[in-house]
Structure 1
Amino acid sequence: MSGATSTGDVLTINGTGLFVDDRGPKDAPTLLFVHGGPGQGSYDFMHAQGDRLAERLRVVGVDQRGVLRSDPLPSGAPLNVQVLLEDFEALRQALDVDSWTILGHSAGGGYAIRYAHQHPASVRAAIYDCPCWDSDGTDRYRLPIAADLLERYGELEAARRCRELAAKPERLDPDDQSWGAMRALGKRYNELFFHQPDNTDALDRIGSQSGLTEDQWRRGVSHLPLLTEMYESKQHLLPELSQPSLLVHGRHDLVVPPDDVQAFRDSVPNGRVHTFERSGHFAYIEEPDEYAAVVTDFVVSAHR
């Protein structure tokens, strides 16, 4: 163990240093948070939820390899989702956890469903928070809404491009640059992710108060190659999930389409859904107390 900080440690896992924020009683039910982005890091989640959840749970937030406070990826180092899944499993063993609940947010929901499918004995239960299980479906749901915003703010060419992509007959992929078209919103881009107007700058505020460097935040771009796998649907895995499973989402979230929520209801044998009525994509920031209560109750129940 090296690189200790006030909020975590860097552990050597599968040959690289992973920053691990491990809070709460070691004998409590354990929750692993899997961030999305790709390449976002676990700081904002642990800032908003770490201490709340640690009142009754052991909560582990990890910056995935190459991200934020973890070691930078060497040039040319291989990276795919399978590598991340192997890191999660090696981390579980390093922390001497028999089995845990995994909570995957956004793109992390795609990683989490694959981990739960591959390692059923390691995953006592699973929480999918606004999961991105197929970026093609996510983009087609979100692009028309982004187009409306772009038109409102006078970005007509970008709005046209968003509508064009949403209507594309073939499946979307990273080369279509859907995110780039929506990024024409500039500082208003976060209006796609937060419901409450006062929260649209929440991630910027949390980041600016973190004490982390620009270089650390920029490490997340090393995960852009994972976009390709985000456009591969994971919905076929839903009926095969054996664990108690909870899908949580904001009523106004634009990442998990209503069709995906219904597919979860219809397909997961031991699944249920909770909707946060006053949230977009980041309920853990917009409704933090309700979020902590829902997650804690589910995890405690699953570990009885």
Structure 2
Amino acid sequence: MNYKDGKYQLLVNGINHWVKIDGNQHNTVPLVIIHGGPGGNHYVFERTAGPKLAEERTVIYYEQRGCGRTSPPFSDEDYTVNMLVEDFKCLIDELGLFNVDLLGYSFGGELALEIAFTYPDYINKIILSGPSLIFSDSVYETQIKGFKTVADKELLKGIEQELSRNLTLKEKWNNVWALVDSDTVDRFLFQNKLFAEHNRKLWQESGLYNTGLMMKALEKNPPSTPLRNRLNKITHNTLILTGIHDRNTGLSISNIINREMLNSRLELFQNSAHFPDLEEEELYVKKTLEFLKP
């Protein structure tokens, strides 16, 4: 690899990308961490499970275009799956790497699969943590059901009113998200209130926020063939890590991915919702490191 441990701003595909390298002394196949969102960042992961992974593995973080500490593209429309995949390829080339492992969480899991589909020879093993299949009916249904399970009486009444309207499933989903507050989102994303509070504290501490621009642009310009229809073309050894209480992407999505892929297995976390990396960090790190061993 061309770079040592540290933080960098690397010009990749015309955009300054925030990159952090840790554990380079281990000389392992680098583990590239791919964050979710769309439009998220790595601030929480690099302060929780990430450093523990770096005790044994070379870990590389990068934040996607317009996300976290990475510069935005010139146009608000310059977000497509193909662009994100090409950004990754250019970054790996800049770092002087030829083969890497991937760990993608939430939307990052979906992006990891898109990368592996497009550039299979660059990828060794894949870890998917609570992976998504955004803009699919399965996700809309999972999230609406999830909010109903954590809603108070007033919110539940509002949700039921939206569901009774003569709207498309996607419109109902959008309207449900417009109803929820931050406390509800915390209950939605976490099983344990203490971890929800810790996560939100780190979010606030970071000073970073999701502009929502990537989500809007990706929605307007989805891949010509849905990822779900291409999963059986991805043959890499893949581990899927999912909390059984995940109300965001849910077991349903992980089961679809596990069923369609040719070389994957699903590991369930009994006390976690969408973020087993926080709620069962020790077990999460153990399972990840075990899987990555040659």
What TM-score does the superposition give when structure 1 sets the normalisation length?
0.85
- Write the letter of the residue equivalent to 1:244: N
Residue 67 (structure 1) aligns with = 67
Distance change (3 Å), C-alpha of 1:179 and 1:249: farther
Secondary structure, counterpart of 1:258 in structure 2: helix
Secondary structure, counterpart of 1:70 in structure 2: coil
d(CA) in 2 for partners of 1:111, 1:181 = 25
**1:252 paired to 2:208:** no
d(CA) in 2 for partners of 1:276, 1:156 = 27
Residue 53 (structure 1) aligns with = 53
Tell me how large the CA RMSD over aligned residues is.
2.5
Deviations 1:129-181 (A, max 9, x none): 1111243201102212313433x24125531255348x96x6x44xx262441
**1:144 paired to 2:145:** yes
Equivalent residue in structure 2 for 1:200, among 179, 184, 196: 196
**1:221 paired to 2:222:** no
d(CA) in 2 for partners of 1:273, 1:119 = 23
Q: Which runs of 5+ in 1 are unaligned?
A: 1-5
Equivalent residue in structure 2 for 1:237, among 227, 230, 243: 230
d(CA) in 1 for partners of 2:275, 2:241 = 10
Distance change (3 Å), C-alpha of 1:230 and 1:181: farther
What TM-score does the superposition give when structure 2 sets the normalisation length?
0.87
Distance change (3 Å), C-alpha of 1:159 and 1:76: closer
d(CA) in 1 for partners of 2:24, 2:34 = 20
d(CA) in 1 for partners of 2:288, 2:280 = 12
Residues 96-245 of structure 1 correspond to what in structure 2 (within 5 A)? Answer: 96-134=96-134, 135-150=136-151, 152-161=152-161, 163-164=163-164, 172-173=169-170, 176=171, 178-186=173-181, 187-210=183-206, 213=207, 217-218=208-209, 220-224=211-215, 225-228=217-220, 229=222, 233-245=226-238
Query: For the Cα contact (< 8 Å) 1:147–1:163, is it kept in 2?
Result: no
- Write the letter of the residue equivalent to 1:209: E
Query: For the Cα contact (< 8 Å) 2:132–2:253, is it kept in 1?
Result: no
Secondary structure, counterpart of 2:132 in structure 1: coil
> Shift of residue 183 of structure 1?
4.3
Residue 34 (structure 1) aligns with = 34
**1:81 paired to 2:74:** no
d(CA) in 2 for partners of 1:47, 1:230 = 33
Residue 17 (structure 2) aligns with = 18
> Shift of residue 222 of structure 1?
2.7
Query: For the Cα contact (< 8 Å) 1:131–1:255, is it kept in 2?
Result: no
d(CA) in 2 for partners of 1:185, 1:231 = 32
- Write the letter of the residue equivalent to 2:273: G
Q: How many residues align?
A: 285
Moved more, 263-272 or 176-185: 176-185
d(CA) in 2 for partners of 1:162, 1:255 = 19
Deviations 1:177-226 (A, max 9, x none): 6244134231222211101122222322112333xx3xxx2454231222
